[in-house]
């Protein structure tokens, strides 16, 4: 009886952990995209300085 209750609790914790993991994945993806934009801007500026 306790094992079934534990499984149900683990299932809920698993869902919460999965949602948190997905959220952190989305956050990490967004951070990587922001860093890429910043890096691209720096590269463009450096390239512009080399040309002139």
pLDDT in tens, 28-41: 999 999 999 999 99
- The full DSSP string for 1-52 is -HHHHHHHHHHHHHHHHHHHHHHHHHHHHHHHHHHHHHHHHHHHHHHHHHH-
Q: What is the pTM of this model?
A: 0.54
pLDDT in tens, 1-52: 455 555 555 566 777 777 777 778 889 999 999 999 999 999 999 999 998 7
Range of the domain at 35: 1-52
Q: Identify the pLDDT of residue 9.
A: 56
- State the total domains in the chain: 1
């Amino acid at each position: 009886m306790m094992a079934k209750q534990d499984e149900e609790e683990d299932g809920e914790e698993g869902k919460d952990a999965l949602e948190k993991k997905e959220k952190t994945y989305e956050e990490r993806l967004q951070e990587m995209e922001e860093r890429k934009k910043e890096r691209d801007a720096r590269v463009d500026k450096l390239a512009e300085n080399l040309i002139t």
